[in-house]
Amino acid sequence: MSFTKLGLSEPILKAIDEQGYTTPTPIQAQAIPLVLERKDVLAGAQTGTGKTAGFTLPMLELLMQNKPQLKKYQIRSLVLTPTRELAAQVHESIETYGKYLPLRSTVIFGGVGINPQIAKIKKGVDIIIATPGRLLDIISQGFLDLSCLEMFVLDEADRMLDMGFVHDIKKVLKLLPASKQSLLFSATFSKEIKQLADNLLDTPTLIEVARRNTSSEMISQSVHFVDKGKKPELLSHIIGSNNWTQVLVFTRTKHGANKLTKKLEFDGISAAAIHGNKSQGARTKALADFKDGSIRVLVATDIAARGIDIDQLPHVINFELPNVPEDYVHRIGRTGRAGNEGEALSLVCVDEHDLLKNIQKLIKKEIKVIAIDGYDVDPSIKAEPIQNGRGGGQKRGGGQRAGQGQRGGNSRGGNDSKSSNQRGRNSNNRSRGDVSRGDARKQGTTNRSRNR
Ligand code: AMP
């Protein structure tokens, strides 16, 4: 299958070709023809499957098929995303794929000045990519009119709901015209997502490219059991000894991200933190520095990391496991993107054994255990409730679900810790070989990606 068979026109094919894409990914092969037929689509797609091009390419194509006269503040297409980073990345994709087309797009999100955004809309745009809060703000000020919208895309709908945007989404839906094409993308399908889909979509076609809640087969996953206090040192050791140059590290809290960044810097590993307490400018700079290789490690919380798209990101490390198992899938989805291999390593302390169990249940597989000399667990350390930090946890992680982790730590942590510690110890000899073999391979991966 090649892009030329999908019904896209020459200027778009040229832009795709310049990206070096030769074959559509499965989601693209399925979604593009359906969207071009103006069908409503409900798409189940993991992160990293190429879903952005799956909707942006046919959107550009359709927008080129007619040229209505827009009144001031009217737009033709709206993409709603949960985070600023994802909005910026979708916008970047639209600019890239649409570089030979006379269509104008802009991105709207909070945390930066509203006036330049309004000024852009005033000049006239066809496509807006937005996060819900700022979009509603601009609409309420009378600077945006959705009454002529031709296409509406709800991207990463599951994450939108997780982040508490359900009311904002409903407000936006009320402002859309009855006759429009709608697409809904979600990695998982809860009851709430199905309800949202029922409200929004008109006899949609369902497409799914990967089993729900499973982690990509292209990602090699492993776990290293380690005492909590030794995690920072082990992290520096792993990054330093493997000479990894581009590593995305996840912490559970914003405070934890800052602290770990300082520790990495202290150990001579350049790093920056990205989380909700950072200004938009700082977030953008951290991401840009990470992408261009100026820093080796980006330490992120879950919400901030959502939407981070870096081509061929070779390594993701969970410094702490997430409270919500689905977040594990999202986190490791940052590597192994669009058919490239990736490695995801989780550092797991005795407090987190229940979280690991829940993750393995969700992904329906046992994650390989590795061990590095000198970082054996101390079996006398007992599990403690997981601290999410005062106001530092992610919105939902700090709430009810965080409690799950706490309960687990208290009630069953003791037994679990024994069996898992045992597993960690038993695996030492076997895994050491794995680690050194892995090192060579990892080094190769890093070099390959650097050369690209
Ligand atoms: P997405 O799932 O949309 O975030 O895309 C994941 C990554 O895959 C991005 O880095 C895209 O640039 C890349 N990508 C998208 N489509 C293709 C394709 N057909 N071939 C290779 N890479 C692609």
Map out the domains of the chain with their CATH numbers: 3-208 (3.40.50.300), 219-370 (3.40.50.300)
Q: How remote is the CA of residue 86 from the centroid of ligand 1, in Å? A: 14
Task: For residue 377, give the nearest of 275, 224, 169 by alpha carbon.
Answer: 224
Residues at CB less than 6 angstroms from ligand 1: 21, 23-25, 28, 47-53, 309, 311, 337-338
Percent with pLDDT over 90 in the chain: 59
Among protein residues, the one with the nearest Cα to ligand 1's atom 11 is 50
In ligand 1, which atom is closest to the CA atom of 25?
19
| Residue spans of alpha helices (H) in 364-412 | 400-411
Percent with pLDDT over 70 in the chain: 80
- Asked if residue 382 lies in contact with residue 311, where contact means CB atoms within 8 angstroms, the answer is no
Task: For residue 33, give the nearest of 64, 56, 6, 13 by alpha carbon.
Answer: 6
Please, which pLDDT band fits residue 292 given cuts at 50, 70 and 90?
Answer: confident
Mean pLDDT throughout 304-316? 71
Strand-pairing partners, residue 206, are: 42
Single-letter residue type at 409: G
Q: How remote is the CA of residue 145 from the centroid of ligand 1, in Å? A: 31
Q: Mean pLDDT: which of 40-49, 118-127, 160-169, 312-321 is highest?
A: 118-127
- Asked if residue 172 lies in contact with residue 207, where contact means CB atoms within 8 angstroms, the answer is no
Query: For the range 118-123, what are the long-range contacts, defined as Cβ-Cβ under 8 Å and sequence gap of 24 or more?
Result: 118/143, 121/73, 121/75, 122/72, 122/73
Q: What is the pLDDT of residue 291?
A: 87
Q: How remote is the CA of residue 140 from the centroid of ligand 1, in Å? A: 35
Cut 0.75: pTM above it: no
CA distance 107 to 128: 6
Among protein residues, the one with the nearest Cα to ligand 1's atom 18 is 21
Among protein residues, the one with the nearest Cα to ligand 1's atom 21 is 21
Q: pLDDT for 75-99, tens place per residue?
A: 999 999 998 888 999 999 999 999 9
In ligand 1, which atom is closest to the CA atom of 54?
3
CA distance 129 to 89: 9
Q: What is the pLDDT of residue 354?
A: 94
Asked if the model's pLDDT at residue 211 lies above 80, the reply is no
Asked if the model's pLDDT at residue 402 lies above 80, the reply is no
